[in-house]
């Protein structure tokens, strides 16, 4: 097996840059859970402002943001409505069933995005026999949809349907800033009408750890209770918050490079027999490759690529997912596309 040279497995693979590490070592710190860490406090204020909320809380992970938000906004037996591939319902260990003790109902969206009409159809009539429809979760961008951006008019529709039915709204904004950079719509506008929203720093923004969940002050006060309860309350976390602040200053606009690299990667694979790649649908930093027409499964292809020094994950038996990020450049992406094309050509020749 060749050493790993190009890692397109996920944008979580970034390592802190020298500039980020320096910011971390210079961070002014204190006891975070007593609100004595000035760097964490500054980060929370900045993210609350960015997303258009009054308050925010720093958490160790995006998963904890999703889980705490669900726990605050749902009562046991309530129902969360999300796309059928939504991270909050599908790959967090059924946390919403365990922690919030909420049920989930899934909508079959298009590439991770559903419409107001689909939402309307999924809302249950009020009845003591049924779970109470309570929380609508939007994932901006839709990870397993292929980094799809929820258009702002679709979001506005979702918000209006939700409000009409007295539902609450949660934004899983793990990659919200990718959507902002790609679309030019600002984060506040995307979050307008939502009860809670969060962004992740350990994805495309390039920080090692951390996410910030925002909402109104009553929501954040209750979120703090859950943070404490779940062991997410920290101490000198300013070292981590400094990385996040550095990321907001230096790593947001450059997400456009990741988007251009993803597009380039998709373009290079377009037209190769047996690889289903729709370059037009690549809106941000994620490229889905449908390999259902090939004899080998996606996990088998992923393994063969890894043996050639390239890591691209399989998200199911027929789909590969490549994610561009800060630590892969244009040259890497071209090389990875070449290696994948070669692998496919070798197999076709057999
Ligand atoms: C990564 C991710 C999460 C979870 O974030 P972690 O920081 O890895 O816990 C949640 N939602 C989406 C859409 C993600 O991509």
Structure confidence by residue, pLDDT tens digits, 262-304: 999 999 999 998 899 999 999 999 999 999 999 999 999 999 9
Query: Which residue among 250, 282, 314 closes a domain?
Result: 250
Answer whether residue 339 is part of any domain: yes
pLDDT, residue 348, reads 72
Query: Which residue among 215, 250, 285 closes a domain?
Result: 250
Q: Which domain holds residue 332?
A: 254-349
Position 349 pLDDT exceeds 80: no
Going by their DSSP bridges, the two strands 313-316 and 319-323 should be labelled as: antiparallel
Structure tokens at 308: 């050639």
**What integer best gives the mean pLDDT of the chain?**
97
pLDDT, residue 244, reads 98
Give distance in angstroms: CA of 128 to centre of ligand 1: 34
Answer whether residue 109 is part of any domain: yes
Q: Ligand 1 within 6 A of 139 CB? A: yes
Q: Is the peptide bond before 141 cis (omega within 30 degrees of 0)?
A: yes
Vertex 179: Cα angle to 173 and 180 (nearest 5):
100
287 and 243 in a common domain = no
94 and 224 in a common domain = yes
Ligand 1, residues 87, 139, 211: which to mutate, most atoms within 8 A of Cβ?
87
230 and 323 in a common domain = no
Going by their DSSP bridges, the two strands 103-107 and 78-83 should be labelled as: parallel
Q: Is the dihedral of CA 153, 156, 162, 165 positive or negative?
A: negative
Q: Ligand 1 within 6 A of 63 CB? A: yes
pLDDT, residue 42, reads 98
Task: Indicate which CATH number applies to the domain containing 291.
Answer: 3.90.1150.10
The model's pLDDT over 90-147, given as tens digits with 9 standing for 90+, comes to: 999 999 999 999 999 999 999 999 999 999 999 999 999 999 999 999 999 999 999 9
Give distance in angstroms: CA of 12 to centre of ligand 1: 9
Q: What is the mean pLDDT of residues 212-236?
A: 98
pLDDT, residue 216, reads 98
Q: Ligand 1 within 6 A of 90 CB? A: no
pLDDT, residue 262, reads 98
Q: Please provide the size of the chain in residues.
A: 350
Spatial distance between the Cα atoms of 249 and 229, rounded to a whole number of angstroms: 32
Ligand 1, residues 64, 90, 137, 203: which to mutate, most atoms within 8 A of Cβ?
203
Spatial distance between the Cα atoms of 74 and 67, rounded to a whole number of angstroms: 10
What number does the ligand 1 atom closest to the CA of 64 have? Answer: 9
Answer whether residue 4 is part of any domain: no
246 and 258 in a common domain = no
Q: Ligand 1 within 6 A of 62 CB? A: yes
Answer whether residue 103 is part of any domain: yes
Count other Cβ atoms within 10 Å, centred on residue 14: 22
Going by their DSSP bridges, the two strands 103-107 and 310-311 should be labelled as: unpaired
Q: What is the mean pLDDT of residues 32-48?
A: 98
289 and 207 in a common domain = no
198 and 328 in a common domain = no
Answer whether residue 13 is part of any domain: no
Answer whether residue 5 is part of any domain: no
Q: Does pTM top 0.85 for this prediction?
A: yes
Q: What percent of the chain has pLDDT over 90?
A: 96
User: 71 and 99 in contact (C-beta within 8 Å)?
Assistant: yes
100 and 32 in a common domain = yes
User: For ligand 1, atom 3, which residue shows the shortest CA distance?
Assistant: 62
145 and 288 in a common domain = no
Answer whether residue 9 is part of any domain: no
pLDDT, residue 278, reads 92
Position 347 pLDDT exceeds 90: no
Q: Ligand 1 within 6 A of 171 CB? A: no
Q: Per-residue confidence at 7, pLDDT binned at 50, 70, 90?
A: very high
Structure tokens at 99: 């922690």
Query: Which residue among 220, 250, 280 closes a domain?
Result: 250
Q: Ligand 1 within 6 A of 211 CB? A: yes
pLDDT, residue 122, reads 98
The model's pLDDT over 195-208, given as tens digits with 9 standing for 90+, comes to: 999 999 999 999 99
Structure tokens at 241: 């918050």
Q: What percent of the chain has pLDDT over 70?
A: 100
pLDDT, residue 106, reads 98
273 and 148 in a common domain = no
pLDDT, residue 88, reads 98
Give distance in angstroms: CA of 344 to centre of ligand 1: 31
Phi, psi of 307 (to 5 degrees): -65, -25
Q: Ligand 1 within 6 A of 61 CB? A: yes
Name the domain count of the chain. 2
Give distance in angstroms: CA of 227 to centre of ligand 1: 17
Q: Ligand 1 within 6 A of 148 CB? A: no
Residue 130: which of 169, 81, 72, 84 has the closest Cα? 81
H or E stretch covering 66? helix 62-73
Task: Indicate which CATH number applies to the domain containing 168.
Answer: 3.40.640.10
pLDDT, residue 117, reads 98
Give distance in angstroms: CA of 172 to centre of ligand 1: 8
156 and 33 in a common domain = yes
294 and 168 in a common domain = no
Position 250 pLDDT exceeds 90: yes
Answer whether residue 85 is part of any domain: yes
290 and 175 in a common domain = no
Q: Ligand 1 within 6 A of 270 CB? A: no
């Amino acid at each position: 097996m060749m050493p790993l040279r190009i890692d397109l497995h996920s944008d979580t693979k970034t390592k802190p840059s020298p500039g980020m590490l320096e910011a971390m070592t210079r961070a002014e710190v204190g006891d975070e859970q007593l609100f004595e860490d000035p760097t964490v406090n500054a980060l929370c204020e900045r993210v609350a402002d960015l997303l258009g909320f009054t308050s925010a809380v720093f958490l160790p992970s995006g998963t904890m943001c999703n889980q705490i938000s669900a726990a605050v906004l749902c009562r046991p037996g309530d129902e969360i409505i999300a796309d059928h591939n939504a991270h909050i319902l599908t790959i967090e260990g059924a946390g919403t069933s365990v922690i919030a003790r909420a049920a989930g109902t899934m909508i079959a969206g298009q590439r991770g995005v559903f419409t107001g009409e689909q939402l309307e159809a999924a809302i249950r009539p009020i009845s003591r026999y049924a779970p109470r429809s309570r929380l609508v979760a939007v994932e901006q961008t839709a990870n397993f949809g292929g980094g799809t951006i929820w258009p702002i008019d679709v979001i506005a529709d979702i918000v209006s349907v939700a409000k009409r039915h007295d539902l609450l709204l949660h934004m899983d904004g793990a990659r919200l800033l990718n959507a902002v950079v790609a679309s030019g719509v600002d984060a506040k506008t995307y979050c307008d009408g939502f009860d809670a929203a969060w962004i992740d720093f350990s994805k495309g923004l390039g920080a090692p750890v951390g996410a910030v969940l925002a909402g109104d002050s009553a929501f954040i006060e209750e979120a703090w209770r859950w943070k404490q309860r779940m062991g997410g309350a920290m101490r000198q976390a300013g070292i981590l918050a400094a990385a996040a602040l550095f990321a907001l200053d230096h790593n947001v606009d450059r997400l456009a490079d990741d988007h251009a690299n993803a597009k380039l990667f998709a373009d290079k694979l377009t037209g190769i027999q047996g690889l289903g790649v729709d370059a037009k649908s690549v809106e941000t930093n994620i490229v889905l490759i449908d390999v259902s027409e090939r004899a080998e499964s996606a996990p088998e292809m992923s393994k063969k690529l890894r043996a050639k020094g390239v890591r691209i994950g399989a998200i199911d038996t027929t789909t590969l997912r490549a994610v561009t990020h800060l630590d892969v450049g244009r040259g890497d992406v071209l090389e990875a596309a070449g290696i994948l094309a070669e692998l496919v050509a070798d197999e076709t020749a057999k």
